[in-house]
Amino acid sequence: MLMHNPPHPGEVLRELCLEPLGLSITEAARALGVSRKTLSAIVNGRAGISPEMAIRLSIAFDTTAESWLNQQTQYDLWNAEQHRRELRVERLVVA
């Protein structure tokens, strides 16, 4: 079942991981081994979480990579569903 308008995982990262620890994007990016630009794009909802980033986040914040990827999938799927009626797809069924 789809969540109603799920938050971007970057928002979750900011509110539940970075802010409670008082981490800036620069500090967190350094700890994650990524550029500030990369982490900023995720936190600001301009980029998604890749499998590699999910692993980095799971190591840094003692979470699971699956939880980060599931959040990204829910977010992406919800947004795609908003355009369902625009899709021109022919239904194919076995007779």
Alpha-carbon distance 25 to 5, whole Å?
25
Can you give the residue range of the structural domain that contains 34? 9-86
Query: How many domains does the chain divide into?
Result: 1
Using CB atoms within 10 Å of the CB of residue 88, give its burial: 0 to 12 exposed, 13 to 18 middle, 19+ buried: exposed
55 inside domain: yes
Task: Report if pTM > 0.85.
Answer: yes
**Cβ-Cβ contacts under 8 Å for 63 (sequence gap 6 or more):** 57
50 inside domain: yes
Tens of pLDDT, residue by residue over 11-45, are: 999 999 999 999 999 999 999 999 999 999 999 99
4 inside domain: no
What dihedral do alpha carbons 82, 87, 90, 92 form, nearest 10°?
-40
* Residue 73, domain CATH: 1.10.260.40
Tens of pLDDT, residue by residue over 2-11, are: 668 999 999 9
